[in-house]
Structure 1
């Protein structure tokens, strides 16, 4: 059996814009609905959504028939958890709050087998190998894996060059919400200081030859970040889309205050 193709990694290499949606409901049913709508990629959130390894697996299985490429965000940088996520079939992993080249290099090692890393061998026990059905998986696994590290703190911004230059880091994703909080402007990623930091990261990562992504629920923000050089942009959040749609429907029949969409989440 051939190694399953990482469609997200292949699309990144082409350089075309990729529009994504955050998946926060933590169920395969909801993830499948979003995957059927035409987004290029879908972020299954293990950091802020109530996900576990089994619920992430269920969502990977649910979206597998669709063209929307799954990206999974881990809750932290724990190598043991990363091992579990890779074993259930995660091919594109996003890791939050990376603040140094050393942290980035440790994540690369967590995703690779010895002698280039520390990933444990699950063999026929794991979905990633198709239960030992993929020929020569141990030597080829890294070719189909994609590591995205998040820069979302002032320290991460300072270390952006070292992070982006780390061999094995495939892309960098900027987190405007956490960055705005860390810079003393909570809930205001549009603050000039935060925007300056975001532009600095975009230019630095591009100079390293790596793709840049960002979360931008508002269209004006998304278009601006695209013009600045971001290639993969999350423009929707499933929970927000449901809530906004529900509020708009109720508002047609009941008087209530106008709800403003958040620029962060």
Structure 2
């Protein structure tokens, strides 16, 4: 008899479980390293985001990172580079259960992402489960019939247009959660690199309100203690608090500043 397996809870499942307790805390994984993915996955965080939009990650790399993280209870989410049905199909097949789709600016964009996540008749996902890790090579019982229950979709609101359309975006059936990106939002407002400006914060909080009105969980990128506290106080359901590459960069800089400037190191004389 062949081995039968089931998949872990989705990100949407985790958010429902946590809804009355606390916001889920996660971290970006951008390095492309399966070892780094495993380190972050084993740290005790609730979730991690494997980023294929702004990182040099290919399909094989993402699959290796998902395999590395699978031994731990953290929930991996994968951000695809583009809202494209072929790309999303490939990510689902390699085993990414939880998708974050960037630059969703309209309800039509959200509907396209939803369609890409599901098999017909609900959507347009191509059928290749017998060949793919997503179904564990047909070891997940009734995968085709249950596939919609085994995946989750988070859409990203990160432009002025998206904020203006937030009510329509979050109302789309099949959007499980919303993630707000303050950096791109600031850029779209003509305030590149100024995501702490009051008008940017107000736009982020407007998207948070729209999501909660629709009963949808909402998260935000919140590096830094002040931003984290602000958005947690605003009631977000999940946050990203740092990135693997940023942690290494800032920590190594700290050591360099302490130990490699001027006479900071006293050499022993012999």
Please give the TM-score of this superposition, normalised by the length of structure 1.
Answer: 0.94
Equivalent of 1:4, from 4, 7, 17?
7
Q: Which residue of 2 aligns with 1:262?
A: none
Q: Which residue of 1 aligns with 2:99?
A: 93
Q: Distance in 2 between matches of 1:2 and 1:241?
A: 35
1:91-122 superposed Cα distances (whole Å, 9 cap, x missing partner): 11000000011110111111110111100110
**Aligned 8 A contact 2:10 2:152 in 1:** no
Alpha-carbon deviation of 1:209? 0.2
Structure 1 stretches of at least 4 aligned residues deviating more than 6 Å after TM superposition: none
- Correspondence list, 1:41-190, <5 A: 41-190=47-196
SS at match of 1:252: helix
Q: Distance in 2 between matches of 1:9 and 1:122?
A: 24
Q: Distance in 2 between matches of 1:70 and 1:25?
A: 15
The yes-or-no answer on 1:237 pairing with 2:243 is: yes
More moved, 147-156 vs 33-42:
33-42
SS at match of 2:110: helix
Larger Rg computed on CA atoms: 2
Q: Which residue of 1 aligns with 2:268?
A: none
Q: Which residue of 2 aligns with 1:205?
A: 211
Alpha-carbon deviation of 1:39? 1.3
Q: Distance in 2 between matches of 1:123 and 1:69?
A: 21
Q: Which residue of 1 aligns with 2:197?
A: 191
Alignment coverage as a number of residue pairs: 256
SS at match of 2:191: coil
Alpha-carbon RMSD: 1.1
Where structure 2 has 5 or more consecutive residues not aligned to the other structure, the ranges are 263-270
1:55-104 superposed Cα distances (whole Å, 9 cap, x missing partner): 00000000000122100000001100100000011111000000011110
1:187-244 superposed Cα distances (whole Å, 9 cap, x missing partner): 0111111111111100011000000011111011111101101111000111110011
SS at match of 1:214: strand
